[in-house]
Amino acid sequence: MDTKTKATLTLDGKSYDLPVHAPTLGPNVLDIRKLYADAGVFTYDPGFTSTASCESSITFIDGDKGELLHRGYSIDELAEHSHFLEVCYLLLYGELPTAAQLSDFEGRVTRHTMVHEQMHYFFRGFRRDSHPMATLVGVVGAMSAFYHDSLDINDPWQREVAAIRMIAKLPTIAAMAFKYSVGQPFVYPKNSLDYAGNFLHMCFAIPAEDYVVNPILSKALDRIMMLHADHEQNASTSTVRLAGSSGANPFACIAAGIACLWGPAHGGANQACLEMLREIGTVDRIPEFIARAKNKDDPFRLMGFGHRVYKNFDPRAKVMKESADEVLGLLGIENNPTLQVAKEMERIALEDDYFVSKKLYPNVDFYSGIILDAMGFPTSMFTPIFALSRTVGWISQWKEMIADKDQKIGRPRQLYVGEKHRKYVDVRHR
Ligand code: ACO
């Protein structure tokens, strides 16, 4: 930590020095760790809009510029030249792999794609009409009941095995959740296929027919996974870190992250966004929905628009939009009405004072659903695909936290506004 300067806080006539840490990129950070002990006050920041919860060297976002870096490499360059498993290696270990390191890593992930056979019975306890995210939260949490040899968070080898297991098995579990929901038999992983191709195979192959993975689709899916791999201290990642700070096992922590991701303000937005675009249906209905989004008395929001950190284009949305054009074009469905509505909606919103003044731009979820839909995924699978892509980010952040010597259990304080001391009144006298 580079501490060059200090800030002074004056409170009730007394002054307190606060160290100011200089990051490698981004705004300086006031260190308030000793504030309560020294000055007897808390800070108040619901939603953590001005609070850095940890030190990290994995991902950097400049929300004003619309820039996203993983270990210093821009997402645009990675999206153009790299692929999902290489980005996984980069996030987990800090450097781009050599050819030998990549092949070893891919081999390790590939050899862990199968799940314990008994897990098949576990799935059967769910209702068929369960949302695949509900199944995912439950099954990933239950991994701690199946893989006892990777639960010891103090053993670096076990942490490593847990990380590889989750990156390898999440696609298998997500595909099983999908198959279960449509009443089809589970399809075992096929390790001759690449990561995205294997997932497509597990989702769409059936025993009665041969399924050949379309390389256009597997490349596009790989890119979607890459664009979702990590995003610094967002809600689900912070959930994983908070759960992990108590020493909980890694499977339980990732299950907590999946639960948080499910919300429509976070990863659930991709499903909500496509459903919204379909509900709008035709370009002529867009003004009606824009008006609703602007109406303070209407809870409706444009899904796939706005971001806590980006006050400019989400760089992932740009790549995703190009991908949508490319994939739909290659599949010969470029006149897809949902894509037309999305593009027109974006054009209108970006010229509208409300969206311009609030710096609301399309986020990663605005176009991803259109691509996933074209691939044949039902909307209920959009968030599970986000979850399996983000697993590497969660695990990388979790591993970084466990290895951090300053790590403590996360325990925020509060601004209490409830009753003061009251005397208990017996039920007969209330
Ligand atoms: N449509 C209409 N108005 C919006 C939208 C939107 N999508 N997003 C924000 N606003 C408005 C708010 O009403 C608010 O207006 P006000 O200042 O007049 O009250 C202002 O913009 C700021 O919004 P906040 O909710 O305070 O911003 P916050 O940073 O808390 O929320 C969020 C960010 C949750 C992403 C929000 O923009 C949103 O709900 N978007 C739609 C859901 C979505 O797409 N989520 C995906 C996020 S990306 C991801 O998780 C992968």
Asked if 18 contacts 30 with a C-beta cutoff of 8 angstroms, the reply is yes
What confidence score (pLDDT) does residue 58 get?
98
Ligand 1 center to residue 360 CA distance, Å? Answer: 8
Give the separation between CA 157 and CA 154, rounded to whole angstroms: 9
Q: Which atom of ligand 1 is nearest to the CA of 308?
A: 29
Asked if 390 contacts 230 with a C-beta cutoff of 8 angstroms, the reply is yes
What confidence score (pLDDT) does residue 214 get?
93
Give Cα separations from 212 to 190, 192, 207, 215, 251 (angstroms). 12, 12, 13, 9, 32
Beta bridge partners of 67: 62
Task: Residue 21: name the closest of 36, 34, 6, 8 by CA.
Answer: 6
Q: Please tell me if the CB atom of residue 356 comes closer than 6 angstroms to any atom of ligand 1.
A: no
Q: Which atom of ligand 1 is nearest to the CA of 386?
A: 51
What confidence score (pLDDT) does residue 333 get?
82
Radius of gyration of the chain (CA): 23
Q: How many residues does the chain have?
A: 430
Residue 30 belongs to what H/E stretch? strand 29-30
Residue nearest to atom 37 of ligand 1 (CA): 306
Q: Which of 352, 360, 372, 383 best tests ligand 1's pocket when mutated (most atoms within 8 Å of CB)? A: 360
pLDDT tens-digit profile, the chain (430 residues): 777 799 999 999 999 999 999 999 999 999 999 999 999 999 999 999 999 999 999 999 999 999 999 999 999 999 999 999 999 999 999 999 999 999 999 999 999 999 999 999 999 999 999 999 999 999 999 999 998 988 999 999 999 999 999 999 999 999 999 999 999 999 999 999 999 999 999 999 999 999 999 999 999 999 999 999 999 999 999 999 999 999 999 999 999 999 999 999 999 888 899 999 999 999 999 999 999 999 999 999 999 999 999 988 899 998 998 888 888 888 888 788 888 899 899 999 889 999 999 999 998 888 898 899 989 999 999 999 999 999 999 999 999 999 998 889 999 999 999 999 999 999 999 9
Q: Which atom of ligand 1 is nearest to the CA of 273?
A: 44
- List the structure tokens of 302: 């444009």
Q: Which of the residues are catalytic?
A: 307, 365
Give Cα separations from 325 to 64, 79, 146, 220, 276 (angstroms). 26, 15, 42, 11, 20
What confidence score (pLDDT) does residue 428 get?
97
Residue nearest to atom 34 of ligand 1 (CA): 265
Q: Please tell me if the CB atom of residue 290 comes closer than 6 angstroms to any atom of ligand 1.
A: no
3-state secondary structure of 49: coil
Q: Please tell me if the CB atom of residue 306 comes closer than 6 angstroms to any atom of ligand 1.
A: yes
Ligand 1 center to residue 305 CA distance, Å? Answer: 7
Residue nearest to atom 8 of ligand 1 (CA): 306
Q: Please tell me if the CB atom of residue 148 comes closer than 6 angstroms to any atom of ligand 1.
A: no
What confidence score (pLDDT) does residue 326 get?
87
φ/ψ (deg, to 5) at 7: -110, 155
Helices 337-351, 365-375: inter-axial angle, 10-degree rounding: 170
Give the separation between CA 117 and CA 122, rounded to whole angstroms: 9
Q: Please tell me if the CB atom of residue 386 comes closer than 6 angstroms to any atom of ligand 1.
A: no
What confidence score (pLDDT) does residue 337 get?
86
Q: Which atom of ligand 1 is nearest to the CA of 307?
A: 35
